[in-house]
Structure 1
Amino acid sequence: IRPVRDVGPLMGKEQPFAILKMDRPRGNIVVSRRAILEEARAEQRTELVGQLQEGEVREGVVKNITDYGAFVDLGGIDGLLHVTDMSWKRVSHPSQVLAVGDTVKVQIVKINPDTQRISLGMKQLQSDPWDGVEAKYPVGAKYTGRITNITDYGAFVELEAGVEGLVHVSEMSWTKKNVHPGKIVSTSQEVDVVVLDVDASKRRISLGLKQAQDNPWDAFVANHPIGSTVEGEVKNATEFGLFIGLDNDIDGMVHLSDLDWSVSGEEAIQRYRKGEMVKAKVLDVDVEKERVSLGIKQLGGDPIGEGDTYRRGQQITVTVTAIESGGIEVKFGEDDAPVTAFVRKSDLSRDRNEQRPERFAVGDRVDAMITAVDKASRRISVSIKALEMKDEQEAIEQFGSSDSGASLGDILGAALKNAGSKD
């Protein structure tokens, strides 16, 4: 049946042969001893298969090993012992368990009467480690296991021989997101894991690697409560804001709206560079969503929203920053936290002829009055006209009524004249 390299032992012995081909003109006959042997083996195989029963335990000898299993001679008939039926634990290659010539005890798992193929099993002779697995590994319990396999979606951890659980990539680290599992753990590494879910019917156990470690978000809240100041390195600038690296690989985000009180977020974010160290205030921490909200502008306080720094009726000196057709843009307050406002044309002067934005130049300093403060929208209304009217009213009250139609200049001139005559 198998190729014979040495025909010496067969020489001189009478053997049965089957005639395969005859060539009478040439006097040639082709015969086969193999055909007789195969026929005899087929009869023997049929007889042996008829003697076997599924579930029966037999001893056999390993004849050949392949990548997918081993062929075992049961005494004239071979059966396949598949690699998945060698052991309850993970077997990468059959050679890890068996060698050619080994005598093994196997169970007949299945017999196909049509093809006469016999499937064998070794692990079926051992107790199933998954029996009662829910009681052995309750949810929330912590165990030590060994990494047996790493995939793109997670890592398999052997809790005991034949029982493996999966640590999904999302359960591997509190802070390392979108990282291949191979960069977090390695094969054969001993790790602590927590049981997240057990499905005995599907032979699945979900494990968590990060749950066996302290949650850095809880530690962050304890060490940096809302309102505290933190310092970190600018990791990245996006269209939403700045990401800043904090303790234990935690990133916090400064939204564009929390960068500066006086300028737009798009303009303010241009000041920061990757790798730069910055300070910020903790505005909010969401442990469940693993988010830290930070603010840089809050370190200096809101020049408009806090206290009574600016109030209605207050006289201020403003600096012209821009000239527009509808009015002028001005700024005032501290240099490190200036407040911007817009003075409309109608508020540029009491005199209609002087309500021309072009009569001002960028950099001009002008006295004006605050006419409204809206802390909710952080807007302050400023008017030059209102200050002129206030000054005129005070002059009238001091130097006399203007019922006669006299202007402020007439009243002031008369007052100065009177003062001079008294001298």
Structure 2
Amino acid sequence: MDAGDTGSPAIQTENPSDTSGDDFSDSDNFMKLYEESLKSIQEGEVITGEIVQVGKEYVLVDIGYKSEGQIPIGEFKDPDGNLTARVGDQVEVLLEREADDEGAIILSKEKAAKIKIWDDIKDIYENEGVIKGTIVSRVKGGLSVDIGLQAFLPGSQVDLRPVRDMDALVGTEHEFKIVKYNKRRGNIVLSRRALLEAERLSLREKTLNSLEEGSILTGVVKNITDYGLFIDLGGIDGLVHITDMSWGRVGHPSEIHKIGDEITVKVLSFDRERERVSLGIKQLAPDPWGNAEEKYPVGTRVTGRVVSLTDYGAFVEVEEGVEGLIHVSEMSWTRKVRHPSQIVSVGDVVDTMVLNLDVGRKRISLGLKQVE
């Protein structure tokens, strides 16, 4: 039969043992499918996976690849060394490398958390929100704050007033405003003062609307001077002059109160234009001289404490806000007293008699020798 013959074609037989072509084809297809699965997720991308195995060194996480990714077990331990990973848990991870030298997919839970925090920081900053953090240490110029990342809180932004002991704030949790940040440099600057100022401004408006002469308010001692107490009433400060602290004798305001004390005060006057508030503490109680005439008529024996000495006599406090004078001439029948210290000392408790009473001038004359 010649070449042009169109008869029955010759039947070609294949060698059943020759499958090398299919093997290469299947291998190529498998690799293509594998590579396609990797294309959907890029290195540096944060994805959610499921923990499928917890080993001694690594935690295996299924992220939808043909094989699971691995994360060092240390990323799943809390500060006390306790393991927090459980099979079935959902976890956000960062794809660090599609495959290392051994073909393993390398993931990181910690780096994914940091990326998410930077996203949160950006969102909070742009929306003027607040972020919670814990002050972890004192550093040069301020404090270091843990907000998931290390952030810096300048000393001037810690409080409305200078903080004398910043070490005392270490370990405390607060809310902060993000003043500025630089992701590339890893810098985050916070302010607590900005939030306190905004809160104070809001309180100020509320306080100003409720302030009026005669009002009784609660405030906190903000500062102490020689002449009185400055009280934070809520966004606005008022002054309690030393003469309005007590009906009795006050040597220095710090003898009665300290910074941080919460006290009740009465508004004595309020200049709305200048926003000046005069406060009183003693005005919360009746003036003890109001019934002195009934309590201390002439001839009454009274007991009191010597509070001061002068060349001409001794002042005796018979009750808080009421003092009488024992003149040197009324100290002894028999002795010539040149100075009251010859007879009494400050702090002595003495029995006396009322010799004269002038309620209008708030004066009581007392005698010591009359009770001998």
TM range (shorter): 0.3 to 0.5
TM superposition score normalised by structure 1: 0.40
Question: Highest Rg: 1 or 2?
Answer: 1
